[in-house]
Amino acid sequence: MLASLGLLLTVMQAQVQPLEGNGSTYVFVNLTEGTDDICEVGRTTYLDLPDLLAGWADHEICIDDIPSTQSIAEFHFELVPDGFNIKLNGWGDAVGLGTHNAFSRHDTSASMLLIIPEDIRISVNWFYLAAGLGSFQLQLQRLYDLDGTWNPMPPVIDRSANAYIEPLTDNGYEMHHLAAGQWRVSAFSTHQAIDPAKEGFQLSFARTNHYCSFVPLGDVDGDAIVDVNDLLAVVDAWGPCAQSCEADLDSDGLVGIEDMLRVLADWSD
């Protein structure tokens, strides 16, 4: 039982194989009172592929009794048995309380190359929050064929937000067909928090999580079952896709006989 479970996990994880990756985080905090420096710390950490897969977080704080400022920077590309998760987070605050000048900042960047040996389909649950002076960008894009030939396609995930005081937040659920090849995940986030400053600059966020689960290639709606609902979705969407459409299971821009055959081939028992 354990052996078969181990084999199952190996097979499922092999659907995505990290090839290379690197990145960095930067955290900076500064707290002063009048002309006196209470503390100032800036730290850059360079990340390699094992750091990105294990998850990396850095945190720095300056505190002088109650006035304080802090900065947090995190990134994690998490491989799980039934998919992968991309977690990007950074935030900080600056609490001067009218007696101190407080400032914090973070920058996170990460880039990874993934080998996807055979076509896969993923369902993606995502959300983001950006507030204060917080920004992020996240992309998932096919760049090369399996043999390394440059053959870029438009990103399937291309999400960003740039907040200016007012919080920006959104969430969704979407399906993507990932053709066999070499895919790049790229992520970036930053924040600045300042006090005294304009109202709303004292606390900033830049956070987004994408939970990606493997589903059968013929699963239009992503419920992990291929049944009559998926077949009806193909029939309903029959013809050219105006933009992207979930029933286009092979991403050729058309919902047609190939997509219907894929549903029938993957039909759940």
Q: Contact positions toward Ca ion, by CB under 5 A?
A: 219, 221, 223, 225, 230, 248, 250, 252, 254, 259
Which residue blocks in 198-255 are alpha helix, DSSP H?
A: 228-236
What is the smallest separation between the CB atom of 217 and Ca ion, expressed in angstroms?
A: 11
Q: Which residue, 41 or 153, is less far from Ca ion as judged by CB?
A: 153
Q: What are the φ and ψ backbone dihedral angles of 250, each rounded to 5 degrees? A: -110, 10
What is the smallest separation between the CB atom of 218 and Ca ion, expressed in angstroms?
A: 8
Q: Which residue, 41 or 264, is less far from Ca ion as judged by CB?
A: 264
Residue 263 CA to residue 266 CA, distance in Å, equals: 5
Dihedral angle at the C-alpha atoms of 77, 81, 82, 87, nearest 10 degrees? Answer: -20
Name the token pair of 195.
């006090």
What is the smallest separation between the CB atom of 240 and Ca ion, expressed in angstroms?
A: 10
Q: Which residue, 145 or 252, is less far from Ca ion as judged by CB?
A: 252
Dihedral angle at the C-alpha atoms of 119, 52, 84, 128, nearest 10 degrees? Answer: -110
3-state SS string for 21-58: EEEEEEEEEEEEECCEEEEEEEEEEEEEHHHHHHCEEE
What is the smallest separation between the CB atom of 141 and Ca ion, expressed in angstroms?
A: 20
What is the smallest separation between the CB atom of 125 and Ca ion, expressed in angstroms?
A: 16
Q: Which residue, 80 or 261, is less far from Ca ion as judged by CB?
A: 261
Q: Which residue, 143 or 254, is less far from Ca ion as judged by CB?
A: 254
DSSP H or E segment with residue 239: strand 239-240
